[in-house]
């Protein structure tokens, strides 16, 4: 039964005592959870709310005090690493891309990127240079070392050579050795992908693809190892393809060459690991670069097959290469990292 505050005319009780509506006294204030007099309803007294200091309330709400959070964000935003690269930031970037959690520094290191004039190779060159590395950009004789209207980044120089020719490869590394005195990073990116059905591939077409994609990478890896072994350090990254794992109905020669590149990387990793040299492979899926038979509609159609909803960008592959050649991947060797948005998932 509900209670109300009485007065002197309502049963003779002093002001402030609780009474029943019919005037009967409530029997004082019983202890919490126990009845007063027989027949009276139990009365529960609420515990006073605990008062929290303002900073505790903000913590309980799920965040740091605004003053401290703003100061931290200001300090991180002002951080700039060598090469003009901004430091780590909290929260997703404005363009909706991936969150930047750490930026490796390659200051003082030297790199050679084969096939660095366009596509994935160009993105790798720009990324490594932005992290402070000095980069030798290999490109086929007669081809431009950079896309039309663009220049090589600071600290880079172009070296033409056909990686299929052993003598040109030797001359390429002699030039790099004279310019840099050492070699810390090799990225085997040079490759070709002429689409053809199995019954339409002739011997010349087969040799072109295998010699460029696989034999060229072997020649370059041999020369790089000869420079890295005395240093007892180095990074070699091969750029393969998800076709190495899935096959390609219109590129049996291409898939075979990339599968060979995966095996070559594992073999080199075992042979060179004792000298502090790591060898890894990246295997991109369909990437938005110049590809035979794929226009904008084709890229959109391929993107709909990808769990992440789009095809790869050249920068996605370049970021993975930058990780593999940095200090954070120092204990990673003989591995193949798929940059494919989830189209190929291997245990």
CA dihedral 15, 16, 20, 25 (to 10 degrees): -70
| CA terminus-to-terminus distance, the chain | 68
pLDDT in tens, 243-278: 999 998 889 999 999 999 999 999 999 999 999 999
CB atoms near residue 213 (< 10 Å) = 28
pLDDT in tens, 165-224: 999 999 999 999 999 999 999 999 999 988 899 999 999 999 999 999 999 999 999 999
Quick one: pLDDT at residue 18? 52
Residue 229 within a domain: yes
Q: DSSP letter for 84, please.
A: G
Burial of 48 (0-12, 13-18, 19+ CB in 10 A): exposed
Structure tokens at 310: 């789009």
**Mean pLDDT taken over the chain:** 81
Please give the tally of structural domains in the chain.
Answer: 1
Q: DSSP letter for 275, please.
A: G
Residue 187 within a domain: yes
Q: Percent of the chain, pLDDT > 70?
A: 69
Residue 31 within a domain: no
- Segments forming the whole domain that contains residue 205: 110-339
Residue 157 within a domain: yes
Whether the Cβ atoms of residue 268 and residue 235 lie closer than 8 Å to each other: no
Quick one: pLDDT at residue 90? 41
Quick one: pLDDT at residue 37? 57
Residue 165 within a domain: yes
Domain containing residue 127: CATH number: 3.40.50.720
Residue 305 within a domain: yes
Q: DSSP letter for 62, please.
A: T
Quick one: pLDDT at residue 257? 97
Q: Assess whether pLDDT exceeds 70 at residue 91.
A: no
Three-state SS at 8 = coil
Active site amino acids = 254
Residue 47 within a domain: no
Residue 74: CB partners within 8 Å, gap ≥ 6? none
Residue 56 within a domain: no
pLDDT in tens, 291-306: 776 777 777 877 788 8
Q: Assess whether pLDDT exceeds 90 at residue 134.
A: yes
CB atoms near residue 330 (< 10 Å) = 11
């Amino acid at each position: 039964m509900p209670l109300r505050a009485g007065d002197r005319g309502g049963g003779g009780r002093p002001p402030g005592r609780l009474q029943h509506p019919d005037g009967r006294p409530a029997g004082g204030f019983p202890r919490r959870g126990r009845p007063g007099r027989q027949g009276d309803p139990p009365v529960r007294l609420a515990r006073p709310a605990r008062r929290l200091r303002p900073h505790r309330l903000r913590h309980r709400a799920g965040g740091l005090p605004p003053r401290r959070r703003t100061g931290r964000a200001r300090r991180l935003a002002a951080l700039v690493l060598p090469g003009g690269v901004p430091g780590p930031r909290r929260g997703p970037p404005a363009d909706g891309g991936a969150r930047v959690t750490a930026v490796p520094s390659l200051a003082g290191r030297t790199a050679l990127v084969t096939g660095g004039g366009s596509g994935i190779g160009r993105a790798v060159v720009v990324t490594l240079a932005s992290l402070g590395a000095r980069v030798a950009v290999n490109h086929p004789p007669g081809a431009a070392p950079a896309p039309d209207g663009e220049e090589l980044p600071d600290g880079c120089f172009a070296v033409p050579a056909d990686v299929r020719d052993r003598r040109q490869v030797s001359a390429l590394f002699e030039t790099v050795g004279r310019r840099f005195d050492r070699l810390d990073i090799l990225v085997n990116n040079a490759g070709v992908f002429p689409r053809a059905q199995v019954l339409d591939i002739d011997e010349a077409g087969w040799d072109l693809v295998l010699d460029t994609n696989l034999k060229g990478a072997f020649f370059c890896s041999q020369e790089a190892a000869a420079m890295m072994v005395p240093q007892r350090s180095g990074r070699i990254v091969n750029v393969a393809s998800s076709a190495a794992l899935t096959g390609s109905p219109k590129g049996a020669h291409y898939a075979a060459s990339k599968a060979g590149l995966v095996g070559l990387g594992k073999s080199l990793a075992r042979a060179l690991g004792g000298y502090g040299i790591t060898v890894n492979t990246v295997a991109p899926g369909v990437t938005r670069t110049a590809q035979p038979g794929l226009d904008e509609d084709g890229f959109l159609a391929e993107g709909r097959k990808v769990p992440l909803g789009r095809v790869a960008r050249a920068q996605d592959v370049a970021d993975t290469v930058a990780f593999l050649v940095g200090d954070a991947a120092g204990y990673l060797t003989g591995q193949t990292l798929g940059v494919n948005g989830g189209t190929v998932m291997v245990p």
